[in-house]
Chains A and B, each alone.
Chain A
């Protein structure tokens, strides 16, 4: 029972948290009470009307009055508005129909977003199986508990402040029009305008965030955050204490993931670099190669460096020893579940089925998956004589991670190529971590998610072909690179600035995430070591940490208590 004392709460920390909570609660209530603040719509009655109705090209049914009297085409737009108004007055039934259609479009997109979000949620099970199978039998229960607790505690941290930090200001630069725009999330806590650093509305998913559109976004985004949360398990397992792990999850869900997520997806400064600095369409990451996987991978790397390798992993000459996976059945099943869940991860990131690019995304995702698995297997076969099952699975995941950023912007041929390259990166990355820098990564999380996540963002800057993403991050809404409707474009198709934006942004992510995690948890580790004792690690963490063995038939149990 010695572990009970390790979990005692730090009282001053609890008091500080309570103070912050109270302050945000009051602030949120005051903001909503102001008459001019957009009102949240918790019943979903006011979300989705004729203003949400549009055609396939994204052209709105409703013509709005032009506000800029100095614009060159003001007269033309003003006339178009007057014509529309006249027509609208003559056909009230058509306007009611437009309201219904708008609502139908939004509800289609709500169901799409929520259902794909549930698929991503199911990836938790896939990752739990995958990582459990990859470690030693004596730690199977520990791995399962880490994956389980990751979901629980990161979610709570995201509920308290993570979502608010990430999306509190999203209506300013990145309103999700497919979901009705979430107009109540319109304030940056840190920064403003095109230079947002942290959102400031929606703490405790209350007040401005207690809105049907906002919570639809929350569900989808929380499961993405959870993905980053469980990635770290793969690198820190078999030697981390449970309390330290909970701190990691709260850190990821509460600030690490939301901060970078705000900068790229919440309308923050990285997404606006196309507008502020003219760097392509700003930093582009469609479904999160860096926002999710890169963040998870490099956070995992920092933690793995702090924890150190497992006992016995490196002999006294620094030569690595193998700790073979205890259950390949779990590894492959877990990988398939992750592949299935990725059908929600990537296509879902359109936040709407009204965006028909979803089919291209789905196919690209699969192509990269199989390209990655194939190249990882083939390369490993030529290097070592046999295709390794676990490396094949890692290869598929590498392809999936790498295509996550570019999936909406590239052709199927590019998708296959991206997958193939990712398979090579993961094979070499695993060997590099194990043999060169000697960072012990039991499940290859750093290589699959960190290195391939970085590559995925860079791949946008190389392979994006401009067929999608017109007006992305507010850049080039009508024309880009001299062509009408040109979308996000990479190096091969003529946009050099996007390439440098992607490489710079992805590298910045790696450094920021690694450094932030390393600093915070070096301090934690210095206050109280995050690693279990030698005896516990040798025995296996199942019984000492949780009092339960995953496979208790291995321990003959008395029927009488002592």
Chain B
């Protein structure tokens, strides 16, 4: 079982969500986060004083899937979240030790 986390631009959330559900994925978690990568923040002025907005609003999507789904999902997210401009984000794939469905007690692949 793998966890896929993707930090994407907030304006791309709808498209990415649509592409994920089109692949048959039935659940995902979304976090509103702030961050920066190589896309720097920008400087603004407030009543004569400069300040820096370093952290830009992003969205982090977290999906848990079986191994076979990792590659299609990564491709779908990357294609739909891409704008071609800096700040598009990153996708992280990590392994999961255990998954449990709380309502029924199912474990492992049945719980996904």
Chain A residues in contact with chain B, CB under 8 A? 312, 535, 538, 543, 547-548, 554-558, 560-562
Contacts and interface: CB of A to CB of B under 8 A. Distances in A.
Interface in B35-56: 40-41, 43-46, 50-55
A548 B44 CA distance: 8
B43 A562 contact: yes
A546 B83 CA distance: 25
Contact of B57 (A535, A548, A555, A562): A555
A556 B52 contact: no
B37 to A, nearest CB: 16
Contact of A562 (B34, B41, B85): B41
A557 B11 CA distance: 22
Given A556-B54, A558-B54, A561-B50, 4 more contacts: A547-B44, A547-B45, A548-B46, A562-B54
Nearest to A560: B52
9 contacts: A547-B44, A554-B57, A555-B55, A556-B54, A558-B53, A560-B52, A561-B50, A561-B52, A562-B40
B23 to A, nearest CB: 20
Contacts of B14: 312
B51 A558 contact: yes
A557 B51 contact: yes
Contacts of A558: 41, 51-54
Interface string B1-20: 00000000001001000000
A535 B56 CA distance: 14
Contacts of B41: 558, 562
Contacts of A538: 11
B53 A555 contact: yes
A397 to B, nearest CB: 32
Interface residues of B, number: 17
A555 B43 CA distance: 13
A556 B41 CA distance: 11
Nearest to A555: B53
Given A538-B11, A561-B50, A556 B55 contact: yes
Which of A548, A556, A561 neighbours the largest number of chain B CB atoms within 10 Å of its CB?
Answer: A556
A380 B57 CA distance: 36
Q: Is the interface of B mostly helix, strand, loop or mixed?
A: strand
A543 B52 contact: no
Nearest to B46: A548
Contacts of A560: 52
* The 8 residue pairs across chains A and B that have the minimum distance between CB atoms: A538-B11, A558-B52, A547-B44, A556-B55, A562-B52, A558-B54, A555-B53, A561-B50
Contact of A547 (B40, B46, B54, B85): B46
A538 B51 CA distance: 22
Contacts of A562: 40-41, 43, 52, 54
A555 B52 CA distance: 10
Nearest to B42: A543
Contacts of A556: 34, 54-55
A546 to B, nearest CB: 9
A555 B11 contact: no
Interface string B47-87: 00011111101000000000000000000000000000100
Contacts of A555: 34, 53, 55, 57
A543 B51 contact: no
A310 to B, nearest CB: 12
Contacts of B53: 543, 555, 557-558
A110 to B, nearest CB: 39
B35 to A, nearest CB: 10
Nearest to A557: B51
A88 to B, nearest CB: 65
A554 B10 CA distance: 14
A554 B34 CA distance: 9
B67 to A, nearest CB: 34
A312 B51 CA distance: 31
A559 B83 CA distance: 31
Contacts of A557: 51-54
Nearest to B9: A538
Nearest to B32: A554
Nearest to B56: A555
A556 B34 CA distance: 8
Interface in B78-109: 85
A360 B12 CA distance: 55
A336 to B, nearest CB: 31
Nearest to B11: A538
B14 to A, nearest CB: 8
Contacts of B34: 555-556
A562 B44 CA distance: 11
Query: Which of A312, A535, A547 has the most B CB atoms < 10 Å from its CB?
Result: A547
A472 to B, nearest CB: 52
B59 to A, nearest CB: 13
Contacts of A547: 44-46
B43 A561 contact: yes
A538 B57 CA distance: 12
Contacts of A561: 43, 50-52
Nearest to A535: B85
A554 B57 CA distance: 8
Nearest to B45: A547
Contacts of A312: 14
A313 to B, nearest CB: 13
Nearest to B85: A535
Contact of A543 (B40, B44, B85): B44
Nearest to B34: A556
A180 B47 CA distance: 46
Contacts of B40: 562
B68 to A, nearest CB: 31
A542 to B, nearest CB: 10
A239 to B, nearest CB: 14
Contacts of B11: 538
Nearest to A556: B55
